[in-house]
């Protein structure tokens, strides 16, 4: 008898999950722009992985005979001032942007969530210490903060990742701390505690899963923001060091030849925009689909 009840409860739970998921799927894929975003991201990932096979030329190899050539069948998007093929550099630049974006967003999420969780869960002086620090970090705009840190550490991929990660940590900490403060007041957490559950168990089993939906949305949005910020730093000449292909610095390099060869600036900028647009649309779609109050509303 008891066994049967348990079994029923189990199937009910699964059934509910399946229903939730199909709701989610319907809300998520019903919007054209969201699907477009998914397709674009998958394409970019494909390009990043298979860059060596897709790029028509070596992105590092100068060809002094073909300097600043106009778009042609040999060089679809022309060549830069030392004769490197723009298309190939954009294709390899996908790797730079995606790699930095993903690393920053995930590292930032882990550190930021950890800090927010500790601050919200344990409260008292830990809360004050962590959240005041976060408040201070938040008073400096992300691009300025990243600029300063990058200047202190010097350019290069690793330092840019560190600089941008510090910039995104506050967003996650705030979110996680707020969520934790609300959720830990629930009676079921108290019940769990009185049954003898440890703090880590409550955090892992209850607090983190409950925060996941808004967290996923924020992470997707932050991917766009991070890619933009990295491009901005590279544009200012502080980000990725040449000759590594980065879209931001390509836009900047192309400015010198704007009148004769605008494609040098336009094409990499368009790539940045397309990638960020896709991340934002997926973020919108996720937000819409994960929030039961919003479902189908936006």
Partner 1 sequence: MLSYIIRRIFLAFIIVILASLLVFLGMRFLPGDPILMLITNNQFQDYPEEYLQELRHQHGLDKPLIIQYFDWAGKILQGDFGISILNQRPVSEEIVRRLPVSLYLGTLAFIIGHLLGIPAGIICAIRRGKWLDTVITTWANIGITIPNFWLGVILMYVFGLKLGWLPIMGYTSPFDDFWLSTKQLLMPVFCLIVPPLAGVTRQARSSMLEVLHQDYIRTAWSKGLNERAVVIKHAMKNGLMPIVTLGGMALGHIIGGGVIVETVFNVPGLGRLAASSVISQDYPYVQAITLLVAVAVTFSNLLVDIAYGWIDPRIRYG
Question: Rounded to an integer, what distance in angstroms lies between the CA atom of residue 223 and that of residue 44?
Answer: 14
**Interacting residues with partner 1 between 142 and 161 (CB under 8 A):** 143-144, 147-148, 150-152
* Joined tokens for residue 265: 């600036």
Residue 85, φ and ψ in degrees, nearest 5: -70, 120
- List the x/- string, 88-117, binding to partner 1 by CB under 8 A: ------------------------------
Residue 179, φ and ψ in degrees, nearest 5: -60, -45
In the list 118, 251, 286, 289, the residue contacting partner 1 (rule: CB under 8 A) is 251
For residue 170, the minimal CB distance to partner 1 (Å) is 12
Helix (H, G, I), strand (E, B), or coil: what is residue 4?
A: helix
Nearer to partner 1, 56 or 141 (CB): 141
For residue 204, the minimal CB distance to partner 1 (Å) is 30
Question: Rounded to an integer, what distance in angstroms lies between the CA atom of residue 255 and that of residue 259?
Answer: 9
Nearer to partner 1, 122 or 270 (CB): 270
269 in contact with partner 1 (CB under 8 A): yes
- DSSP label of 257: G
280 in contact with partner 1 (CB under 8 A): yes
Helix (H, G, I), strand (E, B), or coil: what is residue 292?
A: coil
Scan for tokens 């934790």, then name that residue.
Answer: 180
In the list 38, 43, 138, 208, the residue contacting partner 1 (rule: CB under 8 A) is 138
In the list 95, 265, 289, 290, the residue contacting partner 1 (rule: CB under 8 A) is 265
One-character DSSP codes across 95-143: HHHHHHHHHHHHHHHHHHHHHHHHHHHH-HHHHHHHHHHHHHHHTS-HH
144: how many CB neighbours lie within 10 A of its CB? Answer: 10
**Interacting residues with partner 1 between 186 and 225 (CB under 8 A):** 224
Question: Rounded to an integer, what distance in angstroms lies between the CA atom of residue 259 and that of residue 252?
Answer: 14
Scan for tokens 């957490």, then name that residue.
Answer: 189
292 in contact with partner 1 (CB under 8 A): no
Nearer to partner 1, 152 or 204 (CB): 152
* Joined tokens for residue 188: 């079921």
**Interacting residues with partner 1 between 117 and 136 (CB under 8 A):** 132-133, 135-136
Q: Interface residues with partner 1 (CB under 8 A)?
A: 33, 132-133, 135-136, 138-141, 143-144, 147-148, 150-152, 224, 228, 231-232, 235-238, 248, 251-252, 254-255, 258-259, 262, 265-266, 269-270, 272-273, 276-277, 280-281, 293-294, 297-298
């Amino acid at each position: 008898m008891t066994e049967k009840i348990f079994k029923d409860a189990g199937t009910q739970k699964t059934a509910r999950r399946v229903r939730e998921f199909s709701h989610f799927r319907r809300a998520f894929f019903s919007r054209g722009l969201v699907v477009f975003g998914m397709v674009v991201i998958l394409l970019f990932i494909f390009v990043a992985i298979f860059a060596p096979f897709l790029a028509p030329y070596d992105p590092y190899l100068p060809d002094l005979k073909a300097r600043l050539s106009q778009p042609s069948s040999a060089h679809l998007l022309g060549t830069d001032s030392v004769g490197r093929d723009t298309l190939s550099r954009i294709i390899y630049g996908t790797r730079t942007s995606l790699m930095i974006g993903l690393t920053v967003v995930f590292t930032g999420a882990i550190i930021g969530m950890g800090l927010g969780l500790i601050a919200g869960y344990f409260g008292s002086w830990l809360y004050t210490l962590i959240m005041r620090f976060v408040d201070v970090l938040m008073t400096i705009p992300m691009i300025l903060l990243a600029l300063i840190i990058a200047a202190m550490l010097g350019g290069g991929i690793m330092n840019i990742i560190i600089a941008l990660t510090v910039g995104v940590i506050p967003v996650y900490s705030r979110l996680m701390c707020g969520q934790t403060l609300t959720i830990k007041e629930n009676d079921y957490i108290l019940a769990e505690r009185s049954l003898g559950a440890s703090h880590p168990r409550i955090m892992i089993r209850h607090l983190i899963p409950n925060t996941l939906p808004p967290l996923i949305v924020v992470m997707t949005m932050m991917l766009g923001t991070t890619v933009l910020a990295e491009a901005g730093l590279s544009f200012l000449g502080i980000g990725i060091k040449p000759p590594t292909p980065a879209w931001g610095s390509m836009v900047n390099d192309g400015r010198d030849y704007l009148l004769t060869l605008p494609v040098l600036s336009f094409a990499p900028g368009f790539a940045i925009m397309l990638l960020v647009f896709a991340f934002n649309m997926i973020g919108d779609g996720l937000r819409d689909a994960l929030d039961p109050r919003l479902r189908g509303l936006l």
